[in-house]
Structure 1
């Protein structure tokens, strides 16, 4: 019985493999779903790098109300939003569900309840219309986004370094293939994005429809240039590891010591101090990562930066300066997806799944989500259902 079930779930991928191997030039079209955190996303992407639709329904009002992502609230918002996101993605792509060739979804990592929404929707849709299914690693998708968005003459070449900075992750990785990633540094406590959000809330920075971190960045560009700054720690000096709890705790302690409302100039100085320290830590670890690669004879020509924090202009300027300082003789190219594809989206999920679809390496409809899932496990487990 188990063998019969396996055949039923694998038949769609076998037909794909045969048609492609016999020279069919028709492009392959993927509908992808993403709901690992607070954005309900659906997109349709083709094998010739065309984004036919990319729908993102955010929960910014709830983030503002609760001062961050509330898992239970986010789960119910995803349940309300996902059907409409899928419908819009198909409509904008001018396709029906039966015209889609495969369905992908974010398998992990992420908030367990939130992951269940895109997972259940994708599995049900794929089973209902007999389409192949692929579960995708969220951070792998971020790292591979430039292969979808960059000009063909400027695609990253393996091996390359990738810095993934978001509300849930702070990772410096060495990518040696599409599925092979080595973690050089990760956070020992909270992510850079989470620290940005907490400091924005502590400083009572108006969001004005933006994410908290984006609001803080915008706030830092306002006002006078001589706003008084405060001392911020630079933790883990000389060590390939990130730590951001100390930064937002420093801001919290400073505010408590003031025992009252700060004027605009003082708040501006604190925000700028935090941002310089937060990005400065990325610079420190990136320099160490480059040095480690050089010592091991690994030549990297690209740094891919993705995740929500990657849209920060100050961060982009400082990373460029860091790369030039560490590799003055051989330029390391700095690669960013477009800002709207730095944050969570389903287009990157579709693209990350594309190679597996084209190879006929698909998953069973019973594939489970993985809220905790190291990128280093991806290479060993690729193609194994429920791995």
Structure 2
């Protein structure tokens, strides 16, 4: 029996993960992600290598997504894709593939803003998954973005504050690199921090107006701190790794929480939803749950599979656009910088 809800194939290729998902309405039938290991030896994502890997991965990933969902391409109602923001070369692979497939199947094409996808991942239909109601506050925290937004509707989002320089994920990864940890370093800092004392070392908090963020100063202070102590004791990092990780992580989370508390105070909104790769951080999730109990916030934290870049979040955003018949034409192009 054919479902009355549309089948949507979604494609995400904004950075170094090639992902495809199939959704039936708000329900995810498959969500396939192919990660690129090659960047580890360079300590960060190399754009040219990323785009080449996307070219190799996209057909197998889409094929696997359709097969796992038990959906034939002829059953698809639309193709959703990430238009931006992201790496231009990586985005081009996904955009070009989506356009070609939509054209061959003669079905609509739906462009999606990557950041809106992170926020709308909270509306994926799953048993036991409570969805936020409008308006709510959203905090997107990843390797490339740090923002606090007021979400009035699925596609009406107002930026209240954003980073003026580095993003949260970049602060984690650069700290890890300073400590000699492999890329991606954010998850490793989270791992080592669990064994450390978050108050062992203190780092400065940036003084930034309003609800905006800054992490470049923290990154510099960590670098100078490590250089100074390693000069005095060559084994300083090895002997204090867990405490360093815990202290840096505590500082980053405290920076985020101070701004979030200020946003709640200014707007009176106590529904908080987070998204982006850093939302997988265990200490941040625990801190948010603490505030949920302490200040009666209603907190929405995505499943781990929907924290990092994935096509399911693109699919849910594409679904809501599909309902509005908000389609893209075949002249659409990738956009590295893509505002709401």
Deviation digits for residues 161-216 of structure 1 (CA, Å, limit 9, x no counterpart)? 00110111001100001111111110000100011111112112356xxx421111
| Structure 2 CA distance for partners of 1:67 and 1:25, relative to 1, 3 Å | closer
Whether the 8 Å CA contact 1:157–1:301 is kept in 2: the answer is: no
* Structure 2: distance between partners of 1:336 and 1:291: 20
- For 1:259-278, what per-residue CA distance to the aligned partner results, in whole angstroms no more than 9, with x for missing partners? 23425332222211110110
Q: Any residues of structure 2 matched to 1:251-266 within 5 Å, and which?
A: 251-257=222-228, 258-259=230-231, 260-266=234-240
For 1:129 and 1:318, locate their aligned partners in 2 and report how far apart those are by CA, in whole Å: 47
Q: Deviations over 1:83-115 (max 9, x none)?
A: 111111111111221111110100111111111
Does structure 2 conserve the Cα–Cα contact (< 8 Å) formed by 1:251 and 1:270? no
1:19 maps to: none
Consecutive aligned runs of 4 or more in structure 1 exceeding 6 Å deviation: none
d(CA) in 2 for partners of 1:320 and 1:280? 14
Show structure 1 runs of 5+ residues with no match.
1-23, 295-299, 376-387
Q: For 2:211, which of 212, 236, 240 is the aligned residue?
A: 240
Does the alignment pair 1:335 with 2:311?
A: no
* Whole-angstrom CA distance in 1 between matches of 2:3 and 2:62: 27
Once the two structures are TM-superposed, the CA of residue 321 in structure 1 deviates from its matched residue by 3.1
Structure exhibiting the larger radius of gyration computed from Cα positions: 1
Deviations 1:32-85 (A, max 9, x none): 1000011000010111x32111110011x2232111111111111111111111
Does residue 285 of structure 1 match 2:259?
Answer: yes
TM norm structure 1? 0.82
Query: CA shift at 1:291, angstroms?
Result: 1.4
Tell me, in whole angstroms, the C-alpha distance in 1 between the residues paired with 2:92 and 2:173. 25
Which residue, out of 204, 210, 215, partners 2:188?
215
Say whether the 8 Å CA contact 1:45–1:351 is kept in structure 2: yes
SS at match of 2:139: strand
In the aligned structure 2, how far is the partner of 1:364 from the partner of 1:348? 21
Deviation at 1:150, TM superposition (A): 5.6
Compared with structure 1, are the counterparts of its residues 316 and 153 closer, same or farther at alpha carbon in structure 2 (3 Å cutoff)?
A: closer
How many residue pairs get matched? 336
Instruction: Tell me the SS of whatever aligns to 1:284.
Output: helix
Check whether the contact 2:141–2:168 (CA below 8 A) recurs between aligned residues.
yes
8 Å contact from structure 1 (residues 126, 365) kept in 2: no
Distance between the aligned counterparts of 2:187 and 2:30, measured in 1? 24
RMSD value over aligned CA atoms?
1.9
